[in-house]
Amino acid sequence: MTSTASSSDEGAFKTPKAVRVRSSGSSGGTPITIPASPFMKKLGCGTGVNVYLMKRVGKLNASPWAVKKINSKCATKQVAVYQQRLNEEAKVLKGLNHPNIIGFRAFATAKDGSKCLAMEYGGEQSLNDMIEKRKDEGLKAFPAANIEKVALHVARGLQYLHNEKKLLHGDMKSCNVVIKGDFETVKICDVGVSLQLDENLRVSDPKAEYIGTEPWNPKETLEEGGEITDKADIFAYGLTLWEMMTLAMPHLEMLDDDDDEEGEEDSMEESFDEDAYYERLGTRPSLDSEALGGSYRRMVELFYLCTEENPKKRPSAAQIVQALESNAPLDKTPCEVIVID
């Protein structure tokens, strides 16, 4: 993308320059050009970062990249925190290679010291975007087949993280699942707050902090001294499936009152029961399985299994993959679980 200006405009606007850098992890340290933010399509944002679509020019049939950059509007004291988190994410992502996890492409440092993490472009939208769109269109739950596909592919990604890489994702939710087309591909993204697991799939560092996102956090991560294992991801995974069935955010149903008139945000905030919200965290949200119908039975069962309050009663990612790939009954997988009607 180029920009031109007449001589009379000179001094009024300067075209943001692209950043040409040598990247960590690109082939042979080959220089790459990261366009300035205004010249890339914004795909989304997260805590302290923005994500852009980078079209790679000059290469035949080159696939685009997703570029994560520190948000320049962040408070100065927070920039260092987000840069360190981006450093960690780049380090972790570089060591991963799985079809259901976004791939590493390059890690660049601009002349001003800002970080740019270039990743595989996994699709136009996150699962959360699709949920919000479906809700806005007045639709109900995603078709059961779509939910089952997401369930299997995300479970495969988690199995790889847990069993092969000994990593806890640490922030599973619909925002961190990207979808290409009509569920052509399903990939986990955002490993920036992942935690190392030991051979028993427990978080190995007793001082490690589980970040997560409140509505998806299991009980053991909210209690001081709670043992955090791979099953923390499984709880949040179960809630991600619940999102697809309800088109809602866990424990925030009190904010989904369509009867509120425009301009009543203040009154809604005043009526928000904060104590009740915090009491619900780490518990299983309600689900009207009868309204969903019989085709959702397996996904309802999986949701119940994954959101057991006792982590030992939740299946592992490997057991979920085994059950879904073999089409075996979910309550017959070799794990300590209880099926709740």
Q: 5-38 pLDDT, tens per residue?
A: 443 444 444 444 454 444 444 444 566 777 777 7
Residue 294 confidence (pLDDT)? 94
| Contact in structure between 31 and 20 (CB atoms under 8 Å) | yes
Residue 141 confidence (pLDDT)? 98
Positive or negative: CA dihedral 294, 237, 156, 340: negative
User: Greatest CA separation found in the chain?
Assistant: 75
Q: Which of 9, 112, 129, 171 is catalytic?
A: 171
Residue 336 confidence (pLDDT)? 41
CA distance 55 to 74: 26
Q: Is 171 a catalytic residue?
A: yes
Residue 58 confidence (pLDDT)? 64
Bridge partner list, 104: 119
Other Cβ atoms closer than 10 A to 165:
18
Low-confidence ranges of the chain (pLDDT < 70): 1-31, 58-61, 74-77, 110-113, 254-271, 331-341
Secondary-structure breakdown of the chain: helix, strand, coil percentages, each rounded to the nearest 5: 40, 15, 45
Half-sphere exposure of 190 (CA within 13 A, CB side): 23
Strands 104-109 and 115-120: antiparallel
User: How far apart, in Å, are the Cα atoms of 81 and each of 23, 70, 77?
Assistant: 21, 10, 8
Edge-to-edge strand list for the sheet holding 49-54 = 41-46, 49-54, 65-70, 115-120, 104-109
Name residues whose C-beta falls within 8 Å of residue 178's C-beta, 6 or more positions apart in sequence: 102, 122, 123, 125, 126, 127, 186, 187, 189
Residue 45 confidence (pLDDT)? 74
Angle at 328 between CA 323 and CA 330, to 5 degrees: 65
CA distance 141 to 244: 6
